[in-house]
Amino acid sequence: MKIGQGKYILIQILLMAVSPITSFAVSLRYYKSVVSQVFFVVFSFYFGYYYAFGYDIMNHYEDMMEYFVDRPLGDILDDFRVFIAGFDAYHVTFKYVLSRFDASMHLFGGMAAAIYALFFVLFMRQFKQFYSGRMPLLCTILFITIAMLVEFYWYQGLRFWTGAFCFMTFYMKYINTHKMRYLFLSSLAILFHVNLSVLFLGAIANYLLEFTKPLVRWILLGVSFVYRFLEIDLMPFLRAQLPWLFSNRNEIMEDYIWKNALEHWEKFREESNVVYDNKTGFVCTFMLGFLSYLFLRWKIKLEPHYKSLFFMFVTMYTISNFGFVNWVFYDRMFKLAVLLLCSYTFIVSHIYYCRYRKRAVMLCLIMAIPMLLVVMVPLVQQRAMLLHPELFFGNFFMDWDVNTRDYDYIWKSK
């Protein structure tokens, strides 16, 4: 039974007040509705409001309390300590605005999660032309894989992944429309994190490579694999040629500290959980296998309108390989490359579904593996902070603080 939009809004308001997790479930069920997407963002605020702090977000909150609260804007901008976290406009603006309201730790986390969710929703809306109608099961599986590839808890990084979804929103808009203004608007992501300039420069390089022979892309990819397997460190060269990119990061300007970081990342790769830390690689393998099956078995060629999206994956994969020794850089860029690949795979699977529909059941069973991987791994990783009754059965009227719980690996409130 269909209900009007006004009634649906009222139902969602009541659910959000009484049981936000129920509102979240209803929003997922009717995800095609704009109202559902709005309440998904509202639930994200609730989630960030009550979820335990981890990763960089506590550092950013403490920076706000120490350098922003009760200080005029001029003094804040004159204090070099404000920019130790980065010269990016987003984190400075975010902290300044919230400091004017004496934001609590809960409000800080809620706003970080809500803004992250907003850009995530805007990115997913770029596939509206495909999900607005009835989607085959295989396409739904691939759509869920796109949505869950980047782990939900990365809003706690505050800057990078929020900015990454800002970039992806405009870049997918460019892919859909082929209007150059959206390609240049993707550069706004740099306001969130200066390292996102790599994404924009990669997009420009991908555009310019369209005017060269395809062989050039594959040669560059091959060279990047040489750099990867030989573990060649490009950081000394980049520090010499692009000092502005590292001007606020004195800790990596010292050679001995950088060498220690390289040793730490190498040890981490050797000792880390195989499933957790190779999840993105597994997904990439499945997506490439699925595309190979479509290309070879069903003679499907690169979709002309969306081939730039596939080649952007190749470009970002190439860039990630060049930075392989830097685990943080590689992990971020490779995950973004696979996000581009998943997006292309979803689009192609939707457009050409009629060709392989007789094999759809088999393909669904196969592609359900990476979907389950991206859904279950972050839930298992964060199980200690997710599996408690307050988060599932609470609401905004409850007075509790998960940061007071005894977790060894998260920040505690002071």
Q: What is the pLDDT of residues 21-79, one digit of tens each?
A: 999 999 998 999 999 999 999 999 999 888 867 768 888 998 999 889 888 988 888 88
pLDDT single digits (tens) 73-96: 888 888 888 887 778 899 999 999
- Residue 241 confidence (pLDDT): 61
Those residues whose C-beta lies under 8 Å from the C-beta of residue 65, and which sit 6 or more positions away, are 99
Instruction: Please state the rounded mean pLDDT for residues 227-236.
Output: 81
- Percent of the chain beyond pLDDT 70? 86
Query: What are the CA-CA distances from residue 282 to residues 331, 346, 373, 374 (Å)?
Result: 13, 17, 9, 10
Give the whole-angstrom CA distance, residue 337 versus residue 310: 9
Minimal CA–CA distance to 205: which of 227, 183, 179?
183
Give the whole-angstrom CA distance, residue 180 versus residue 12: 38
Instruction: Please state the rounded mean pLDDT for residues 183-201.
Output: 94
Question: H-type helices in 3-136, by residue range?
Answer: 5-18, 20-29, 34-50, 57-67, 73-78, 89-99, 105-124, 128-131
pLDDT single digits (tens) 272-328: 777 777 899 999 999 999 999 988 888 877 778 899 999 999 999 999 999 888 888
Q: Angle at CA 411, nearest 5°, toward 409 and 414? A: 145
What the block records as the tokens of 125 is 């809306």
Backbone angles phi, psi at 201, to 5 degrees: -65, -35
- Residue 1 confidence (pLDDT): 46
pLDDT single digits (tens) 345-364: 999 999 999 888 888 999 99
Q: Is the pLDDT of residue 243 over 70?
A: no
Give the whole-angstrom CA distance, residue 344 versus residue 177: 15
Query: What are the CA-CA distances from residue 367 to residues 24, 167, 292, 370 (Å)?
Result: 25, 27, 13, 6
Sign of CA dihedral 330, 331, 332, 333: positive
CB atoms within 10 A of CB 315: 25
Give the whole-angstrom CA distance, residue 373 versus residue 275: 9
- Residue 301 confidence (pLDDT): 79
pLDDT single digits (tens) 386-400: 877 777 787 877 766
Helices and strands in the chain, H and E counts = 22, 0
Give the whole-angstrom CA distance, residue 202 versus residue 200: 5
Q: Is the pLDDT of residue 249 over 60?
A: no
Residue pointed to by tokens 């685990």: 327
> Where does residue 22 rank: exposed (0-12), middle (13-18), buried (19+ CB within 10 A)?
middle
- Residue 385 confidence (pLDDT): 77
pLDDT single digits (tens) 116-161: 999 999 999 999 999 988 899 999 999 999 999 998 888 998 999 9
Give the whole-angstrom CA distance, residue 18 versus residue 38: 17
Q: Is 178 helix (H, G, I), strand (E, B) or coil?
A: coil
- Residue 260 confidence (pLDDT): 62
Query: What are the CA-CA distances from residue 179 to residues 70, 85, 198, 346 (Å)?
Result: 44, 34, 21, 22
Residue pointed to by tokens 């850089």: 329
- Residue 413 confidence (pLDDT): 41
Torsion of CA 210, 215, 216, 218, to 10 degrees: 110
Question: What's the mean pLDDT when you consider all of the chain?
Answer: 86
pLDDT single digits (tens) 373-387: 999 999 888 887 787
- Residue 409 confidence (pLDDT): 38
Give the whole-angstrom CA distance, residue 299 versus residue 302: 10
When comparing pLDDT for 267 and 348, which is higher? 348
Query: What are the CA-CA distances from residue 317 to residues 67, 115, 210 (Å)?
Result: 38, 27, 16
pTM for the whole thing?
0.90
Q: Is 375 helix (H, G, I), strand (E, B) or coil?
A: helix
- Residue 150 confidence (pLDDT): 93
What is the band of 239 on the pLDDT scale with cuts at 50, 70, 90? low
Q: Is the pLDDT of residue 414 over 60?
A: no
- Residue 251 confidence (pLDDT): 45
- Residue 242 confidence (pLDDT): 62
Q: Is the pLDDT of residue 167 over 80?
A: yes
